[in-house]
């Protein structure tokens, strides 16, 4: 008789409910307790990719967390928020602070803007008004590189990466993608070190920095001799991903994106006033 009572529908339901509540509490507790760790790891991964794009370490993967954070705290890499329309650094601390997230801003109607440059479409209708930029300086505090975040649509996903410019602000020093969902072995070759190395030394503009002279990008196949100084090989079997990378590179250097900032930075030799964080 007792066995039948234990196996009743009511008892089964109560036990299931208790188990669900206990499991939910355990998952919630784990999520809350791990949130800080996940945030720190996410920041470290971002900083690691900035360092890789700038070529500041031979083996970025071997860097310890404290070595990475030191570069952002000792003045080697200075992070600032820039207004893409004006090219000025943002001084409003309600925007320019450590919690500013450009991805969230891109989805916020008060913080985003319509992408105007149809010529260099990146498959996305709106972008953030403000974004982070990273200034790489030498021991004397002189600007050596600037690292810029870029993103755009490939075949299956939005690709997120960083591109580093040399001190002349016209020459690419490195490019890396840290998040995408492209096909491994095809579009996923954006992560291939050999392909990424091709970007080093590529010129962005064919003359003065204007939209009409933008020449940097990805060729269909191999670049011609005329374009060899500006373009890299297309990704074999991944024409749509290649075109997506080509479009986003051109877009982010256009007057609708980082163009105004780079012109202002070049004219003032990196001495713009504004916010910063380590």
pLDDT score of 278: 41
Q: Measured between alpha carbons, how far is 182 from 155 in angstroms, rounded to an integer?
A: 7
Supply the pLDDT for residue 227. Answer: 97
End-to-end CA distance of the chain: 70
User: What is the average per-residue pLDDT within 85-95?
Assistant: 95
d(Cα 245, Cα 183) in Å, to the nearest integer? Answer: 14
Per-residue DSSP letter, 231: E
d(CA 2, CA 9): 14
Nearest CA to 72 among 276, 234, 239? 276
Q: 209-247: per-residue pLDDT in tens?
A: 999 999 999 999 999 999 999 999 999 999 999 999 999
Q: Which two tokens stand for residue 60?
A: 């970025």
**CB under 8 Å to 266, separation ≥6 — which residues?**
169, 209
Inter-axis angle of helices 65-73 and 9-54, nearest 10: 60
pLDDT digit string, tens, across residues 252-272: 999 999 999 999 999 886 544
């Amino acid at each position: 008789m007792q066995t039948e009572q234990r196996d009743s529908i009511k008892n089964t339901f109560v036990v299931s409910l208790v188990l669900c509540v206990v499991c939910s509490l355990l998952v919630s507790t784990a999520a809350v307790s791990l949130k800080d760790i996940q945030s720190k790891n996410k920041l470290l991964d971002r900083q690691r990719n900035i360092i890789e794009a700038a070529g500041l370490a031979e083996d970025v993967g071997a860097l310890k967390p404290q070595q990475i954070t030191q570069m952002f705290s000792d003045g080697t890499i200075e992070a600032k928020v820039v207004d893409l329309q004006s090219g000025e650094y943002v001084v409003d601390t309600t925007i320019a602070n450590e919690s500013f997230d450009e991805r969230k801003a891109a989805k916020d109607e008060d913080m985003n803007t319509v992408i105007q440059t149809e010529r260099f479409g990146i498959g996305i209708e709106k972008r953030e008004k403000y974004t982070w930029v990273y200034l790489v300086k030498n021991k004397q505090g002189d600007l050596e590189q600037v690292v810029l975040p870029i993103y755009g649509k490939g075949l299956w996903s939005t690709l997120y990466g960083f591109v580093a410019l040399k001190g002349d602000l016209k020459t690419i020093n490195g490019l890396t993608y840290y998040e995408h969902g492209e096909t491994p072995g095809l579009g996923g070759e954006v992560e291939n070190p050999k392909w990424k190395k091709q970007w080093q030394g590529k010129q962005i503009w064919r003359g003065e920095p204007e939209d009409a002279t933008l020449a940097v990008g990805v060729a269909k196949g191999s670049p011609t001799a005329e374009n060899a100084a500006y373009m890299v090989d297309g990704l074999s079997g991944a024409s749509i991903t290649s075109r997506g990378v080509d479009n986003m590179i051109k877009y982010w250097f256009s007057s609708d994106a980082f163009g105004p900032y780079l012109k202002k930075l070049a004219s003032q030799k990196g001495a713009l006033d504004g916010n910063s964080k380590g």
